[in-house]
Chains A and B, each alone.
Chain A
């Protein structure tokens, strides 16, 4: 196949050139590693303790169910407020709620650490106030911390999925119910909630999937007392070196996530509730009654406390010196400082495992760049293949969702089991990290670009061709301008996913070449104010990059909706 075939109307036969590369990527870097895990599982004779299977499974399901319920309880009022009211700073708050969703889990963990951890603002303030040296608030390493972080992380899903469906709902349905005698609460129960049943279910499944495969949050905020399947796989494989056990847990995890993913795909694609099309912004208004004003205020205050405060605490902590560094004696100089940032660029090579943070930053940016190229190329090719040949979508779409559903830790474990000898050896082959990231980002890219490509009517290509445009020109002058925004958005998305990915990277990245999240995790778990401060500084840098990404994504999406 030549290059022209990628461009517009030049597709012939099965479009194999379009889906072969993504499929090869999947076969070599997903199915082969998964197969290797299975092979190891059956070949090893490590001791299997059934309790070590049921306990994490029970905990994983339990915390995921509870987290999902709490996320819905917190997210539905927010979805209501965003879809029905206009208020000052609404756009800003929307963007802010989106930010945690793409924030790396290490940053989330660091944020709560900075706010509520033993060296966090609240504990430091209370210790100062109560003149004690023991932190009075215990938040880290508690079940509450896991739940709160999960809500923080996933509330955006509920707000986005349910909120957008709610905003699409014809406000006249609500009004109709009221004219017919339904009180606002009754109308909510009888009309709105039944109509939103599907989006609520879709968001709940997605939240459940993320909570079920939660790794960084449980590892860093839950501490040693709590282990999800993901964390157990990690400890069994890397700490206890029981690969058989890790394999069994992986298989269990994979079965569960595939089940959830299949159910999710079925529910989300089967959108049968007809939501009446309506004008943008219709049905939203300023809060009128005092009840409405109070609701908006409470919801925004809640979102601010939950989502903004930890990030602010983190950023503030990265520029404040509040306690003594290791080895420092006497009076501690407290106050604002840029030391933690300056220290990131200083190479204090004292130990073999020490890696200067700037190195981690360069690694992260490099990996993110490569991931962006691989995943946007593969994802866009897939999107084209799916548009051209819908039958390919039917069987390939669930397959490319697998790495996403299989979870990052599984993927990481698969990589170190499968690629353990040259030429591809985990730890020395640097491309494995961006490849793993690309597998995770590919479904996102495909799902972002696909609607844009399928929105181009065939007649547009045909009329361009009739007007004398070659297939290449059709692609350049007709298709590319139409899909450009979606394409850029998917690239930004892929870049950000790679930047924050922690689960798979923690397995694959060699100790000498960590990424930013891995480095943050390391610094966070080491003693000393300088290490803590540097972790905060690195996390703040990630927040800034993610903030810019979210802003870009919102802008691209906003322009798309405005139809410009």
Chain B
């Protein structure tokens, strides 16, 4: 296959991937697309099959069912080494018997690139990751962060049609991870190579991705622009996985505007999937965003709650409040204003802050 030239038509499509692992279903019908130039992040717990998806796209593993298309062409008969995709492994898999430059030039050598051309391209790739001065070093002498950059340069050097990164920062310490997230994001944007980025770290996903695909129980439960996924998680699992904790069960009493009766009163809620309206009397779970803390009811928004602060935790730039709404419902909210335990507060929420989730 050809090398990446920023063709606007290039896209990857994954359809109905099914894969069993030791007789247990691991992927149970995975579908998604990667559009030209975008970075799609696959976010899911460890063991959810994220890496397996990458390995299937790369051709290292075969799915039990399902297909992978590049520009509409089925890749089933294309062996790994002819796909011209890049894959960066979690532990980098740098060749320990080769120098930095030889590692980076490996993919070019396999493609029969001339020596002078290779030297030039290796230099460019090393410059991209700010590692020019390391070219003659042994990869085994490098630190984790340096190895990570070399692995990235190696994957980028042959200008792959698609770049896949499997938890590329997982092996690094937190400070370095934060620094490299930004760099990676910039580099991916600069090269324009479409990318699939696998991680279990939300923060990394937010920084790096254009779109986010949440993986659970072997399938994609939500795939949308990163911002939208965080604003409007579509299921209770998705919301919990993204760290949201305030849930309350209720029953739909009116569909437009969407109104839901709960033990804490009636809420005007938001349906994140307007194409799939709720029906009256159907059960629903409300996700209450942890915001809107005030000391009086704000009548400009339709939803009001009040309660007593149970506990206050200082979290650097905000306070985390545990609020007792009635004798058996407790929720967590954040406030930038200092509060004290025992204080009575009000929570004022717009409809967009109360998300109706399908069970």
Residues of A near any B CB (own CB < 8 A): 170, 172-173, 175-184, 186-187, 190-191, 194-195, 197, 273-274, 276, 288
Contact = CB atoms under 8 A, between A and B. Distances in A.
A195 B94 CA distance: 12
B111 A181 contact: yes
A172 B89 CA distance: 8
Given A175-B80, A274-B140, A180 B106 contact: yes
A178 B107 contact: no
A274 B87 CA distance: 22
Given A182-B110, A183-B79, A195-B95, 15 more contacts: A170-B93, A172-B91, A175-B80, A175-B89, A176-B89, A177-B110, A178-B60, A179-B60, A181-B110, A184-B81, A187-B81, A195-B97, A273-B96, A274-B140, A288-B62
Interface centre among A172, A186, A194, A195 (most CB of B within 10 A): A172
Given A178-B60, A178-B80, A195 B87 contact: no
Interface string B59-90: 11010000000000000000111111111010
The 8 tightest CB contacts between A and B, nearest first, are A181-B110, A180-B107, A172-B93, A178-B80, A176-B93, A179-B87, A194-B97, A178-B81
20 contacts: A172-B91, A175-B55, A178-B60, A178-B79, A178-B80, A179-B60, A180-B81, A180-B86, A180-B106, A181-B82, A181-B111, A182-B106, A182-B110, A183-B79, A187-B81, A190-B106, A190-B109, A191-B95, A195-B97, A274-B140
A181 B84 CA distance: 7
B111 A273 contact: no
A187 B81 CA distance: 10
B95 A179 contact: no
A125 B64 CA distance: 50
A288 B58 CA distance: 17
B97 A180 contact: no
Contacts, number: 74
Contacts of B80: 175, 178-179
Contacts of B154: 180
A175 B97 contact: no
B158 interface: yes
Interface string B142-158: 00000000000011001
B140 A173 contact: no
A197 to B, nearest CB: 8
Interface of B: 55, 58-60, 62, 79-87, 89, 91, 93, 95-97, 106-107, 109-111, 140, 154-155, 158
A181 B80 CA distance: 7
A186 B60 contact: no
Contact of B158 (A181, A184, A288): A181
Contacts of A179: 58, 60, 80-81, 83, 85-87
B95 to A, nearest CB: 6
A175 B166 CA distance: 13
A339 B110 CA distance: 66
Nearest to B166: A172
B60 A175 contact: yes
Nearest to A289: B62
B96 A195 contact: yes
Nearest to B96: A274
Select the residue from B55, B58, B106, B154 with max chain A CB neighbours within 10 A.
B106
B91 A182 contact: no
B93 A183 contact: no
A288 to B, nearest CB: 7
A450 to B, nearest CB: 27
A194 to B, nearest CB: 5
A273 B85 CA distance: 28
B162 to A, nearest CB: 11
Contacts of B110: 177, 180-182, 186, 190
A184 B106 CA distance: 14
Given A170-B91, A172-B89, A172-B91, A177 B96 contact: no
B152 to A, nearest CB: 13
A152 to B, nearest CB: 33
Nearest to B62: A288
Contacts of A177: 95, 106, 110
Q: B59, B95, B96: which has the most chain A beta carbons within 10 Å?
A: B96
A170 B155 CA distance: 18
Contacts of B109: 190
Nearest to A278: B91
Contact of B93 (A175, A186, A197, A274): A175
Contacts of B158: 180-181
A274 B138 CA distance: 12
Contacts of B55: 175
Contacts of A197: 97
B107 A273 contact: no
A172 B93 CA distance: 6
A110 B58 CA distance: 53
